[in-house]
Structure 1
Amino acid sequence: MTRIATAAAAQTALMDLMKAQRSVFESQQQLTTGKLYPDLKGAGHRAESISAAYGARDRAESYKFSAERVQGRMDMTAVALEKLTESATDLRVAMTTIDGTYIMDQAREAFDKARNALSTQYAGGYVFGGTRTDTDPVTVNTLADLVAAPTAGDVFVNSSRRPVAKLDDQLTLEVGVLADEVGTDIMAAFKRLAEFDAGPNGPLNGPLTDAQQTYLQGEIANVMTAFERISDFVGQNGAQQSRVESMVKSQDQKADYLTSLIGDLEDADMAAAATRFQQAQTAVDVSARTFSVLSQVSLLPFLR
């Protein structure tokens, strides 16, 4: 009976030792990784919740990245539109003077500014090209090129569709401004001026004639129409900028919340893990000594 009891006690001590060693391993792993579980298999019933939270956070971060790219494009579009409004303003102001030479010099500078604005690039693509981002949407480089074109609208080769960005599970936004939509009116004004300068009432060189002044006074209204057209797109782009900025913040907050939720589900309490590790080490020492003692128990001392 003594041998049976001793064997049973030794077996129990061995089981306690193995349990304590397992506890040391688990708490040490938590201290090393900072996680409650080595993988989702070890998370048990929490595995599905953790996996779903990771998936939702990845989607939020992806949508945030997409919204930030759209925001960068819109910011660049806003800068380009500002240059385009400056071009229209410069042309209008030049037309109020009575020096033809000055008017044409300013017109060439204003044209270059408008042309460069409409050819603005962001992240390797043309912001006014629509879905066709690999080709400059403006095909003319000088006023002479513009005069040679059949119409002002013919100098644009952008696509007819704007890029589409998915910014949330339920939100797909059409973004951007097309070159021909915003630039045709101002290019038409440049074209008419250049054609007039090259026509029978030209050139605009030195003091203006009465016919030239009459023409310019009438053309100022057309330039103002072009300016207002550009201003409309400035407003539209600004409204979309605000919406996209809101989406960036929303997705950022969502990702932060889900990161916190994941932490609550799988992150270890480091202080508690350290305490468990120390307790487990003590338990290993005690269990090991107990098992050692029980393993050496014998009846020989009592039979001598």
Structure 2
Amino acid sequence: MDRVSTATLYSSLVGNLMTAQSNQVSAANQVASGKVATDLQGFGSQAQTLTAMQTVQAQTQSFLDQGNAISAKLTSQDTAFTQISNSMNDASSAISSALATGSGSNIMQSLETAFQGVVAGLNTTFNGQYIFSGGQVNSPATSATSLASLTSAPSVGSLFNNDQYVASNQISQNSTIQTGFLASNVGTAAYNAFQSIESYVQTNGPFTSPLTTAQTSFLQSTLSTFQSAAQGVTTVQAQNGLLQTEVTNTQTDLTDQSTTMQSLIGNITDADMAKASTNLQQAQLALQASAKVIASLQSDSLVTLLPVH
């Protein structure tokens, strides 16, 4: 008589059931998340490669974020340079107008307004910090308040509060640029031009209408000083523009790198959704089949084979 035993069969069927459950969970997770796995262990031999790619991607994104902040600061600097340059041009126009009309009645009022524009430009802030103050970002770049302050201060240089620190920023793995400008470098020539007129008025009295020969001669000689100072600001603004172009080009390269790296990472992490759906259906069928076989096996017993007395 053959020996009848169900223990081994039960063990095998339970194993199949557990495997089917595991496969169903794995396939369901892939369908739900769109990813091959939710942890590095699930990527097996590709885990180390994936970690390295993600590290590079994180570094690239960090440079992109920093580049955006640098670009915004450079834009603020460009706006400030435009304000300073326009104010210097306004001052030159006021002098030219006085010379053309032979009247000095309104020249100092116009120059005062232009000077205030220069001061405001030098004291421009970005994210609450003074951008032309060097390392002294919490202090205004210049303490000048009016044309009168140019002659009351010990010197023009004493009106600038910046130190000599020039900000530098790393915009990519292999590129670092100096993005900072100092108020003393940008504004000294302009301040000297304004001071020369203020000193003249304090020494010789206000400009008259009509202008005297001496006043006319002085303004003619001073006009070139203002024009030269304005050109100096334009030169600095052009340097800032070159930095903006370099940052923009670097950001474009980094964006391309990020897109490529993201694609490579996706090749490892992104699940084949069609395959995942098929695997899920197969796992569900296998689970149902295993459960059905176990249920049917429960009715197989020696008791059912024994005759009833």
Q: What TM-score bracket applies, with the shorter chain setting the length?
A: over 0.9
Structure 2 counterpart of 1:3:
4
Q: Is 1:247–2:250 an aligned residue pair?
A: yes
Pick from 115, 128, 131 the counterpart of residue 132 of structure 2.
128
2:229 is the counterpart of 1:222: no
Would you say the 8 A contact 1:120–1:127 is kept in 2? yes
RMSD of aligned residue pairs (Cα, Å): 1.7
Q: Where does structure 1 differ by over 4 angstroms across 4 or more consecutive aligned residues?
A: 299-303
- Select which of 94, 98, 106 maps to 1:102: 106
Residue in structure 1 matched with residue 25 of structure 2 by the alignment: 25
Matched, 1:43 2:43: yes
In structure 2, C-alpha distance between the alignment counterparts of 1:271 and 1:7, rounded to whole Å? 39
TM-score, reference length from structure 2:
0.92
> Can you give the 5+ residue segments of structure 1 that lack an aligned partner in the other structure?
none
Aligned-residue offset at 1:2: 4.6
One-letter code of the match for 1:3?
V
CA distance in 1, matches of 2:212, 2:219: 11
Q: Which digits, 9 at most, give the CA deviation of each residue in 1:170-224, with x for residues without a partner?
A: 2221112211111100111001111101112x21133211000001101111112
Asked whether the 8 Å contact 1:162–1:177 carries over to 2, the reply is: yes
Q: What is the TM-score with the length of structure 1 in the denominator? A: 0.93
Indicate the residue corresponding to 1:155 in structure 2: 159
More off after superposition, 58-67 vs 268-277: 268-277
Moved more, 162-171 or 266-275: 266-275
How many angstroms apart in 1 are the aligned matches of 2:209 and 2:79? Answer: 34
The residue aligned with 1:231 is: 234
1:204 maps to which residue? 207
CA distance in 2, matches of 1:238, 1:192: 31
Instruction: Give me the whole-angstrom Cα distance separating, in 2, the residues matched to 1:2 and 1:164.
Output: 86
Superimposed CA distance per residue, residues 51-71 of structure 1 (whole angstroms, 9 cap, x where no aligned partner): 122211111111111111111
Matched with 1:117 is 121
Distance in 2 separating the partners of 1:28 and 1:77: 53
Cα deviation digits, residues 150-170 of structure 1 (max 9, x gap): 332221111212111111222
1:122-155 C-alpha deviation (Å, 9 max, x unpaired): 1111121123211101111111111112332221
Q: Which amino acid is the alignment partner of residue 137 of structure 1?
A: A
Alpha-carbon deviation of 1:298? 3.2
- Deviation for aligned residue 1:297: 2.5
Measure how far apart 1:7 and its partner are: 4.0
What is the CA distance between 1:265 and its match in structure 2? 1.2
- Counterpart of 2:177 in structure 1: which amino acid? L
164-173 vs 207-216, greater mean Cα deviation: 164-173
Give deviations 1:16-59, integer Å, cap 9, x for gaps. 22111111111112223322112112222111122122211111
1:73 to 2:77 alignment: no
Moved more, 156-165 or 234-243: 156-165
Give the match's secondary structure for 2:60: helix
Counterpart CA distance in 2 for 1:147 and 1:103 is: 18
How far apart, in 2, do the equivalents of 1:227 and 1:118 lie?
14
Q: Which moved more, 1:262-271 or 1:132-141?
A: 262-271
The letter of the residue matching 1:188 is N
Query: 5+ unaligned residues in a row in structure 2: which ranges?
Result: none
**Structure 2 letter corresponding to 1:265:** I
SS at structure 2 position matched to 1:3: coil
Larger mean Cα displacement after TM superposition, 46-55 or 206-215: 46-55
The aligned counterpart of 1:140 is: 144
Partner of 2:300: 297
**Distance between the aligned counterparts of 1:226 and 1:153, measured in 2?**
16
User: In the alignment, residue 212 of structure 2 is paired with which amino acid?
Assistant: T
State whether structure 2 residue 62 is matched by structure 1 residue 52.
no
**Does the CA-based 8 Å contact 1:130-1:163 persist in structure 2?**
yes
2:13 maps to 13
